[in-house]
Amino acid sequence: MEEKYDVVVIGGGSTGAAVARDCAMRGLKTLLLEKEDFAYGTTGRCSGLLHGGPRYLLTEPEIVEASCKESGVIQRIASSLVFRVPFLLLVFKGDKYGIDLLDAYFREYDRYSRARGGRPHTVLGRREVLEANPLVSREVEGAIGFDEFGVDVFRLTLLTALSAEKHGAKLMTHCEVVDIGSSRVRFYDKVRGRLLEARFEVAVNAAGPWAPQVAKLAGARVELRLTRGTHLIYPRQLFTTAIAMQAIDGREVMLIPHQSSMLLGTTDEDHYASPDEAYPTRDEVMYLLQAAYRAVPALREVKPVRAMAGVRPLLPEWGKREEDVTRGFRVIDHEELGEASLISVVGGKMVLHRLMAEEATDLICRKLGTREKCRTHLEAIDGELSWRAEPTPRSESYCCECERVLASGVKEAVREHARTLVDVRRRTRIGMGLCQGVSCSYKAALTLAGELKLSPREALRQLRELLEERWRGRWPIAEVSSHELTELAHGVYSCLAALEVYA
């Protein structure tokens, strides 16, 4: 049946979930539509940092100030998801910036860092760097020590959405918007195979890199500059500090401990294909490895397990290199242009998602005559990570040994709007460890099938979908990664289960 909402939010990334939460907390009847799953797009493929952004200090100090303040806010409202990440910014002979210049630069950054609870930077000599991390190249001349904060972006986005639901919002994932009128939105529910409609007073386009396509459905126009960022994933934490280093072109590349893994990234390349077609290239893989091997030669002995790529939805700027494009954001009121009652939220960074949502919701409230103030910076969103608990009772086994996920964790994910096996991965990290789903995906598929009453054919389809998604991240690193795991997976699933997903 058709329902009427004050606000329909299109997009379930960090920004869309935050808009839905803010609207619901201000008493607006809210519907969130996401074509896949929460954090499916840009949010789920970022570096997982609440980054203050020291490299924007000279060009966009206002972005650094806002990022540091918002990092502090997220630490307060989602404290169980946030962790401090100590960094070593390595300096080698011939690097673009020397120790003295970086020391002066980070003294200025320290002023902004106080807002996020950052500690003052330190200057380390060669001996101190090697004592802190013996795997660093002995050619290092020194380093700047500073800190940032990491966050579980999948859990952050999910808990933001669940908080919106707690305050009355309706969440619908796997629902793709196909048409937007002046007061109606039509969307296709891919799980149930049906076309639905909802009426609204205001629609919010928070679709990230898909924002131009969503705006076009309403007869509006949004321009973005899309850039692609690739990361390599290592299956375990190799050391306790993150390392920032220069790539061959002078860009900064980072090796970041993140939960049970490490991320090496990222690249910054203009992307002209569909956001759905963002794949890592082998050139990008070698670019990252070249920088990492120079800084940490021992990394040659450790093989990444996969690569991933995401697309940044940046504001359009001509005449700038990809890395220099602004990280500012805009809230566009298309109704002022005589178009549909549509607002688009574009640009920005993941750490700014709550602030972006606040500005968008302020505009919505002005349109609807609501005087409620924003409270999203005051109310916590933390929830228990029940799927990572120890087995109780003893008879319950781990579904995923790599990430210590219980079978009951898969069931909990279903209660948190997981509709597919890939959805379960985002909520629990099954298949994201060393085995990349070889030993856990079939167990998770069986549990999910029982919870959702899936047919054997559908359970196998979802198993294939997860394995294919994992495989897409392995082929770009085929030249630098061992083949044993891929061969084992091929033998298990192709020979025993007749699933040809590694062809």
Q: For residue range 58-86, what is the model confidence (pLDDT) as tens digits?
A: 999 999 999 999 999 999 999 999 999 99
Q: What is the mean pLDDT of residues 46-61?
A: 93
* Domains of the chain (ranges, CATH numbers): 3-43+154-224+326-368 (3.50.50.60), 82-149+229-310 (3.30.9.10), 386-496 (no CATH)
Token pair belonging to 485: 């795991």
Q: Name 333's bridge partners.
A: 343
| pLDDT higher than 70, residue 333 | yes
d(CA 155, CA 152): 5
Tell me how far apart the alpha carbons of residues 210 and 477 are, in angstroms, rounded to a whole number.
27
Encoded tokens for 397? 């086994």
Residue 225 neighbours by CB distance under 10 Å: 18
Whether residue 350 contacts residue 43, with contact meaning beta carbons closer than 8 Å, is answered with: yes
417 or 239: whose pLDDT is higher? 417
The answer to whether residues 485 and 240 touch, using CB atoms and an 8 Å cutoff, is: no
**pLDDT tens per residue, range 275-295:** 999 999 999 999 999 999 999
Are 407 and 449 within 8 A, CB to CB? no
Distances in whole angstroms, Cα of residue 110 to Cα of each of 96, 308, 451 = 21, 32, 50
Where does the pLDDT of residue 412 fall: very low under 50, low under 70, confident under 90, or very high at 90 and above? very high
Return the pLDDT at 170.
98
- pLDDT bucket at 182, cuts 50 / 70 / 90: confident
Nearest Cα neighbor of 203 from 330, 343, 346, 356 is: 343
Q: Is it the case that residue 220 has pLDDT exceeding 70?
A: yes
The pLDDT value recorded for residue 390 is 47
Is residue 338 very low, low, confident or very high in pLDDT (cuts 50, 70, 90)? low
> Chain-wide mean pLDDT for the chain?
91
pLDDT for res 297: 96
Task: Indicate whether 384 pLDDT > 50.
Answer: no
Predicted confidence at residue 442, as pLDDT, reads 86
Residue 417 pLDDT level (bands cut at 50, 70, 90):
very high
Among candidate residues 476, 470, 473, the one with its CA nearest the CA of residue 282: 476
DSSP string, 23-57: HHHTT--EEEEESS-TT-SSGGGS--B----GGGT
What's the pLDDT at 260? Answer: 84
Q: What pLDDT is stored for residue 347 in this prediction?
A: 97
* The pLDDT of residue 449 is above 50: yes
Confidence at 335, pLDDT banded by 50, 70, 90:
confident
**How is residue 37 written in tokens?**
């799953």
Q: Report pLDDT for 266.
A: 93
- 3-state secondary structure (DSSP) of residue 337: helix
* Whole-prediction pTM: 0.94
With bands split at pLDDT 50, 70 and 90, how would you rate the model's confidence at 437? confident
Q: What pLDDT score was predicted for residue 439?
A: 80
Q: What kind and span of H or E run contains 273?
A: none
> Do the Cβ atoms of 121 and 146 come closer than 8 Å?
yes
pLDDT for residue 215: 96
Residue whose tokens read 């040659």: 300
pLDDT (0 to 100) of residue 495: 62
**What's the pLDDT at 81?**
94
One-character DSSP codes across 408-422 = HHHHHHHHTT--SHH
Which one has a higher pLDDT value, 137 or 494? 137
Q: Are strands 184-189 and 194-205 parallel, antiparallel or unpaired?
A: antiparallel
Cis, bond preceding 266 (omega within 30 deg of 0): yes
